[in-house]
Amino acid sequence: MKRLFKKLHLWLSIPVGLIISTTCFSGAMLIFEKEITALCINTTVDAKEKILPIDTLAGIVAENIPNGVEVTGVTITNDPNKAYTVNISKPHHAGIYIDQYTGEIMGKKERLPFFNVMLRLHRWFMDDAPRNGGTWGRPLVGVSTIIFVFILITGFAIWLPHNKKLLKNRVKIVSNKGWRRFWYDLHVAGGFYALILLLAMALTGLTWSFQWYRNSFYNIFGVETAKSATNNDKKSTKKGEKKERELSFAHWQAVVDKIAQENPDYKQISVSNGSATVSTESFGNQRASDKYTFDVKTGEITDRIVYENSKPQDKMKGWIYSVHVGSWGGLLTRILYFLVAMLGASLPLTGYYLWIKRTFIKRK
């Protein structure tokens, strides 16, 4: 049986090894994107006593963005020395940093070119049209990840020792007995140490690759997937938002003040057209938040849904993301995920080295 596992492990690894290495490496690079971006883009402001109203800040940004681009919301943090972010409709997930004390526009919130490349590598293997349906990138990464799961399982089956002496040898990495022994130990022992987290990353990551897998994954935990809105629903929603957004600007500040008063320990508050969210510092689901709805004409809060009462689909989506990127345990787990992802990137490379060394060089 072990001989069969060895053959499966080898011949599954050879065709997808480089894809797996690229996916793991790019994923590791994305783990600290937020912190690195903050170092590259200055968002620090000098705190003052008076803060400009949110509707004023949104209006300043609205006057300085191109035609066809709209203000969609404002995000604030509990740090008085961090600039507000005025979110805009284009490009995706973009925003404008603005000094809440002076109204000075500080720059754009957008993904740095390096991380844009890493994201495209990680999710679509540089497919040029990922958001327009894509043709080969998403399924290529998805199929490679499925194969990676089987590679990890067969690797563990091969690793299982028969006695204590073998166990002792297979859990340590020796660095003073030559490069071949070091790469061998890194592949065998390193793969064992990284197994659980690599499986967690792979199994959660597949929910972004295949709809059928996402539905099955949700059903295993007794959660139904949310049905996407039709194109007609989206068009009608956008038209309604465009009419109401002008009215909602005037009440965003009042809504934020009410939410901040109810949640003095908030980490971040985001307000948009008729809705707002508030999140606090906590372990676990890092996308957990309480949601508010308010009347865009009066600013009166009409409903509040605490995280515990959120839809199961929303909770599951947040947990999948948190487990996939390692944010569920704070900085410590993110560092651990970074190291494991880098180790995962090295496994196919060390495997190629050992296979070539054993097969071709020895034969020659």
Which tens digit of pLDDT belongs to each residue from 121-176? 999 998 865 555 557 888 999 999 999 999 999 999 999 988 888 888 888 888 88
Please indicate, yes or no, whether residues 147 and 233 belong to a single structural domain of this protein: no
Please indicate, yes or no, whether residues 214 and 121 belong to a single structural domain of this protein: yes
pLDDT above 90 (res 118):
yes
* pLDDT-based confidence at residue 42 (cuts at 50, 70, 90): confident
Q: Residues 9-14: contacts with CB within 8 Å, 24+ apart? A: 9/151, 9/154, 9/155, 9/158, 10/355, 12/147, 12/150, 12/151, 12/154, 13/151, 13/348, 13/351, 14/352, 14/355
**Residue 167 has what DSSP assignment?**
H
Which pLDDT does position 282 carry in this prediction?
A: 78
Instruction: Tell me the C-alpha distance between 293 and 301, whole Å.
Output: 6
Residue 319, domain member (yes or no): no
E strands present in 78-127: 84-88, 95-98, 105-109
Residue 107, domain member (yes or no): no
Give the lowest-confidence range in 164-178, 239-253, 271-285, 311-325: 239-253
Please indicate, yes or no, whether residues 72 and 131 belong to a single structural domain of this protein: no
Task: Give, in order, the Cα–Cα distances in Å from 211 to each of 24, 148, 208.
Answer: 22, 19, 8
Q: What percent of the chain has pLDDT over 90?
A: 59
Instruction: Tell me the C-alpha distance between 344 and 189, whole Å.
Output: 12
**pLDDT tens column, 206-244:** 999 999 999 999 999 888 876 644 445 544 444 444 444
pLDDT above 90 (res 280):
no
Please indicate, yes or no, whether residues 212 and 349 belong to a single structural domain of this protein: yes
Joined together, the tokens standing for residue 244 give 């109401």
Residue 161, domain member (yes or no): yes
Strands 84-88 and 95-98: antiparallel
Supply the mean pLDDT for the chain: 87
Which pLDDT does position 232 carry in this prediction?
A: 53
Residue 317, domain member (yes or no): no
Specify which of 166-180, 235-249, 315-329 reaches the highest per-range mean pLDDT.
315-329
Which pLDDT does position 251 carry in this prediction?
A: 87
- Cβ neighbors of 310 (< 8 A, separation 6 or more) are 288, 291
Which pLDDT does position 227 carry in this prediction?
A: 60
Joined together, the tokens standing for residue 121 give 């590598």
Residue 39, domain member (yes or no): no
Please indicate, yes or no, whether residues 233 and 222 belong to a single structural domain of this protein: no
Q: What is the mean pLDDT of residues 177-181?
A: 87
Residue 316, domain member (yes or no): no
Q: Which residue range is the domain that position 265 belongs to?
A: 46-101+228-310
Which of 292, 306, 305, 295 is CA-nearest to residue 259?
A: 292
Residue 203 one-letter amino acid: L
Residue 267, domain member (yes or no): yes
pLDDT above 60 (res 316):
yes
Instruction: Tell me the C-alpha distance between 330 and 248, whole Å.
Output: 35
Question: Which residue has tokens 């590679």?
Answer: 151
Instruction: Tell me the C-alpha distance between 182 and 205, whole Å.
Output: 30
pLDDT above 80 (res 21):
yes
Please indicate, yes or no, whether residues 174 and 214 belong to a single structural domain of this protein: yes
Which of 346, 14, 23, 28 is CA-nearest to residue 151?
A: 14
Please indicate, yes or no, whether residues 194 and 250 belong to a single structural domain of this protein: no
Please indicate, yes or no, whether residues 138 and 208 belong to a single structural domain of this protein: yes
Please indicate, yes or no, whether residues 121 and 200 belong to a single structural domain of this protein: yes
Q: What is the mean pLDDT of residues 105-121?
A: 91
Instruction: Tell me the C-alpha distance between 61 and 87, whole Å.
Output: 9
Number of domains in the chain: 2
Please indicate, yes or no, whether residues 277 and 252 belong to a single structural domain of this protein: yes
Which pLDDT does position 240 carry in this prediction?
A: 45
According to DSSP, the residues that pair with 95 across neighbouring strands are: 87, 109
Please indicate, yes or no, whether residues 220 and 358 belong to a single structural domain of this protein: yes
Q: What is the mean pLDDT of residues 260-280?
A: 91
Question: Which residue has tokens 């297979």?
Answer: 170
| Residue at a domain's end among 265, 281, 310 | 310
Helices (H), ranges, the chain: 2-30, 33-40, 54-63, 113-124, 137-159, 164-170, 179-205, 211-220, 231-262, 312-325, 331-356, 362-363
Please indicate, yes or no, whether residues 217 and 235 belong to a single structural domain of this protein: no
Residue 269, domain member (yes or no): yes
Instruction: Tell me the C-alpha distance between 58 and 74, whole Å.
Output: 7
Question: By the 8 A CB rule, do 80 and 47 touch?
Answer: yes
